[in-house]
């Protein structure tokens, strides 16, 4: 079983197959996880079921149009602030204006250079998800350092296995958010993993044991019938 790394997930909605393949290849080489949709209806559904960290959206699509997809995702709580880059053809000035007024954050005109697209993506991700690019995640006396892969609590170093490290990192990225076991399996072990959900309990158990010694407060919350989360009240 391969551990899925902490890579930003991008959904690329583009019906020109050659362009979609080229962009996907290059973005994956830059360290992004890319999912594709070539039809507006598929994109709409994917945005509801499993929203990415950033959306690249072609305007002219079969099925639901780019503008309509953008309008709908902005109306949903889960994707209200999702970063969106629209792809437009040269000469579609009106579309661009409409796109930006519908809620796209940025646009790029075809044909574009991949480095330019990557720069736009990174800029948007930095603005929207600073925790994705932060070197350290800090909550109270707990510090997780991504650069050195070390964790300290009140100055004491905590030695975690790779799965527990990734689990803590994932939970600390969104304090207060509760994840189901299935969501954690997806995020930590990857979509294709065929692992029993109880595996999550085992690793959360190990993580807790390493994090808390003596009477230290447990920063991990168990929400009955729901799952696990990092206590947003911890350290406050
Ligand atoms: Ca198109």
User: Which CATH number does the domain housing residue 86 bear?
Assistant: 3.40.50.2300
Range of the domain at 122: 9-132
- The rounded Å distance from CA 41 to ligand 1 centre is 14
On whether residue 4 sits in a domain, the answer given is no
Number of structural domains found in the chain: 2
- The rounded Å distance from CA 201 to ligand 1 centre is 45
- The rounded Å distance from CA 58 to ligand 1 centre is 6
160 and 115, same structural domain? no
pLDDT in tens, 185-215: 888 887 556 778 889 999 999 999 999 987 8
| HEC string for 71-117 | HHHHHCHHHCCCCEEEEEECCCHHHHHHHHHHCCCEEEEECCCHHHH
Whether the pLDDT of residue 102 is over 80: the answer is no
Question: Other C-beta atoms within 10 Å of 12: how many?
Answer: 25
The confidence score (pLDDT) of residue 193 equals 61
pLDDT in tens, 138-186: 999 999 988 788 999 998 999 999 899 999 999 998 899 999 998 898 8
Single out the residue in 72, 99, 132 at which a domain terminates: 132
User: Which CATH number does the domain housing residue 172 bear?
Assistant: 1.10.10.10
Single out the residue in 80, 101, 132 at which a domain terminates: 132
């Amino acid at each position: 079983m391969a551990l899925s790394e902490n890579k930003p997930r991008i959904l690329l909605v583009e019906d020109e197959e050659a362009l979609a393949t080229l962009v996907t290849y290059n973005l994956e080489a830059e360290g992004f996880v890319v999912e594709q949709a070539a039809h507006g209806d598929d994109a709409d559904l994917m945005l509801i079921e499993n929203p990415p960290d950033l959306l690249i959206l072609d305007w002219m699509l079969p099925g639901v149009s780019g503008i309509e997809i953008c309008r709908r995702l902005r109306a949903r709580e889960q994707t209200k602030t999702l970063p969106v880059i629209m792809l437009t053809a040269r000469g579609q000035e009106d579309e661009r204006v409409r796109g930006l007024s519908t809620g796209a954050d940025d646009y790029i005109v075809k044909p574009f250079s991949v480095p330019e697209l990557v720069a736009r993506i990174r800029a948007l991700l930095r603005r929207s998800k600073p925790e994705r690019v932060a070197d350290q995640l800090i909550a109270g006396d707990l510090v997780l350092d991504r650069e050195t892969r070390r964790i300290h609590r009140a100055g004491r170093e905590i030695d975690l296995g790779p799965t527990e490290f990734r689990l803590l990192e994932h939970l600390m990225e969104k304090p207060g958010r509760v994840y189901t076991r299935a969501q954690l399996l997806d995020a930590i072990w990857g979509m294709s993993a065929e692992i029993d959900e109880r595996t999550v309990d085992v690793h959360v158990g190990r993580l807790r044991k390493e994090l808390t010694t003596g009477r230290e407060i447990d920063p991990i919350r168990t929400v009955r019938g729901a799952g696990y989360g990092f206590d947003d009240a911890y350290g406050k």
